[in-house]
C-alpha cells in the first residue's frame, strides 16, 4: 500500500455482494491454513522435531497432492 493519500482517481470501487462473500470465504480458508501451520510450528518449538519414523516421506505427499489436483482437473476429451 502506498503511504500517499488517496486521490480522486484512486477511489475504491465496492465489490458485488457475491464477490465480497467469495473474498471473505477465501480469507477464512487462508486464515485457517495459517493457524494450522502456526500450530505445527509451535508444537515443533515446544517438543522438537518428530522422529523420522513418524513422518511421511515428501514423495508420498507429492504424489497425494498430484492425484488430488488430477481429480479436480476436468477431463479433456
Q: What does the pLDDT read at residue 74?
A: 76
* DSSP track, 42-62: HHHHHH-PPPGGGSPPHHHHH
* DSSP track, 6-23: PPGGG---PPPHHHHHHH
Name the nearest CA neighbour of 20 among 12, 8, 11: 12
**Residues near 12 by beta carbon (within 8 Å), at least 6 away in sequence:** 6
Q: What is the pLDDT of residues 9-55, one digit of tens each?
A: 789 999 999 999 999 999 999 999 999 999 999 999 999 999 999 99
Amino acid at each position: 500500500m502506498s503511504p500517499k493519500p488517496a486521490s480522486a482517481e484512486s477511489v475504491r470501487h465496492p465489490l458485488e455482494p457475491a464477490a465480497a462473500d467469495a473474498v471473505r470465504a477465501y480469507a477464512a480458508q487462508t486464515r485457517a491454513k495459517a493457524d494450522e501451520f502456526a500450530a505445527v510450528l509451535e508444537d515443533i518449538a515446544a517438543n522438537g522435531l518428530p522422529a523420522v519414523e513418524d513422518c511421511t516421506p515428501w514423495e508420498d505427499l507429492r504424489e497425494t497432492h498430484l492425484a488430488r489436483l488430477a481429480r479436480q482437473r476436468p477431463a479433456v476429451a
